Amino acid sequence: MTHTFELGPIRPPNEANSLLVRVTRNCPWNKCTFCPVYKGAKFSLREVDDIIGDIESMAALADDIEEQVQRVDWPEVRISPEGSQVAQFLFSGGKTAFLQDANSLILPVEQLVRVLRALRLSFPTLTRVTTYARAHTVLKRSPDDLLKLRQAGLDRIHIGLESGSDKVLTLVKKGITAAKHIEAGQRVKNAGIELSEYVMPGLGGRALSAEHASETARVLRAIDPHAIRFRTLAARGGPLAEQVQSGEFEPLGDVEVAAELSTLIAGLTDMTSAVYSDHILNLFEEVQGQLPQDQPAMVRVIDRFLSFEPQEQELYIVGRRLGLMRKLDDLSNPTSRVRAQQALEKIRRQFRGRRATEADSKHRFPV
């Protein structure tokens, strides 16, 4: 089977089983200091005919895969790395698709409508089509434009809010204000498109942590998106990492990020958003639920961690970073606990007997 099509570098964690359709290449803004993904890569719009050609190629590959797996002799099926995502999409039910790369909404509306219609026609089993978009780009689309996209089959937009603090947004060169984020979020919702806002705990560093928490909660209250997704800051690569090295930006440790997150979630009042902690960088996978009813339980998880003795906090941090623990109760699992203790002792020996810091454990065990 020979079917060729482009594949972008990333997608949201919850789109792991989605069909990936590359609409644009890289990021048109590409100035955010915390993001190393597209640095040095030129942005470009793809030709609509090429995008539709990719969709048709993926549909043909999907047909071939389904034909092969139904054969009695089960011949060896050779699939390219790009094609493996089509197979995963099929084996997961063939229900969702994601438009790549960083800001598909920048494609002219009528062109994006053509892409959406072709995608829905080629894959009639789809129940959801999603994309990333910058809030700045959303505001360049009229309410009628967004309605056209919704009617053509765009169901969900992921927007990187990151912070509700104008100081933090300026610091990390996000290129937009909190007020514009609110306006863009409301415009997406008014068009009947599901809105998912990404928030980055720790993005304000030590200097702006309190403002980052309170202002982000304020902006989220004003938007009340369908979903809030946490993605903890990891200053690895890109301009922000250089600012950490120079001392210009002082990152928070894991315990400080936890305290910030507790404050932020406590501020999510009078809302109906679903909250997700679906990124491997997050310390608390179990901090998720439906607002308003699950808010107290989410805060209790974090506050329980904050009540631990420092040694117990450290053990959980190492266990989580190594993938040994997914929730606080895993500290009671003898096997996970012993393995985390062994790893912690290794860190301590590496750093010549001194108590390993949170930063050390993050550096030693990158996620």
Q: Answer whether residue 361 shows pLDDT above 60.
A: no
Whole-angstrom distance, CA of residue 31 vs CA of residue 294: 36
Q: Answer whether residue 30 shows pLDDT above 80.
A: yes
Say what the pLDDT of residue 358 is: 45
- Contact at 8 Å (CB) between 210 and 154? no
Per-residue pLDDT tens for 94-117?
999 999 999 999 999 999 999 999
Whole-angstrom distance, CA of residue 182 vs CA of residue 178: 6
- pLDDT > 90 in the chain, percent: 84
Does an H or E element contain 39, and which?
none
Identity at 238, one-letter amino acid code: G
Whole-angstrom distance, CA of residue 277 vs CA of residue 196: 13
- Contact at 8 Å (CB) between 356 and 314? yes
- 107: which 2 tokens? 């494609």
Closest by CA position to 272, among listed 294, 292, 302 = 292
Say what the pLDDT of residue 1 is: 54
Cis peptide bond prior to 292, omega within 30° of 0? yes
CB atoms within 10 A of CB 332: 8
Per-residue pLDDT tens for 224-260?
999 999 999 998 888 999 999 999 999 999 999 999 9
Mean pLDDT within 293-320: 98
Say if residue 350 is exposed, middle or buried (CB neighbours under 10 Å; 0-12, 13-18, 19+). exposed
CATH 3.30.750.200 fits 134-142+153-307, yes or no: yes
pLDDT classification of 76: cutoffs 50, 70, 90: low
CB atoms within 10 A of CB 266: 17
Does an H or E element contain 33, and which?
none
Provide the angle, in degrees to the nearest 10, between the axes of the packed helices 295-307 and 254-266: 150
pLDDT classification of 366: cutoffs 50, 70, 90: very low
Torsion angle in degrees (nearest 10) through CA of 324, 306, 200, 96:
50
Say what the pLDDT of residue 72 is: 52
- Contact at 8 Å (CB) between 142 and 78? no
Say what the pLDDT of residue 348 is: 87
pLDDT classification of 88: cutoffs 50, 70, 90: very high
**Average pLDDT of the chain, as a whole number:** 93
- 103: which 2 tokens? 């800001």
Q: Answer whether residue 317 shows pLDDT above 90.
A: yes
Question: DSSP H helical segments within 76-142, as ranges?
Answer: 81-91, 109-122, 135-138
Torsion angle in degrees (nearest 10) through CA of 198, 203, 323, 17:
20
Per-residue pLDDT tens for 132-151?
999 999 999 999 999 999 99
Say what the pLDDT of residue 81 is: 72
Say what the pLDDT of residue 349 is: 86
Which pTM value belongs to this model?
0.91
- Contact at 8 Å (CB) between 260 and 276? no
| Domain spans in the chain, listed from the N-terminal domain onward | 1-131, 134-142+153-307, 310-367
Whole-angstrom distance, CA of residue 193 vs CA of residue 130: 10
Mean pLDDT within 41-61: 96
pLDDT classification of 119: cutoffs 50, 70, 90: very high
Say what the pLDDT of residue 352 is: 64
- 221: which 2 tokens? 């209250």
Greater pLDDT, 71 or 237 = 237
pLDDT classification of 363: cutoffs 50, 70, 90: very low
Token pair 């003795």 in the structure block, residue = 309
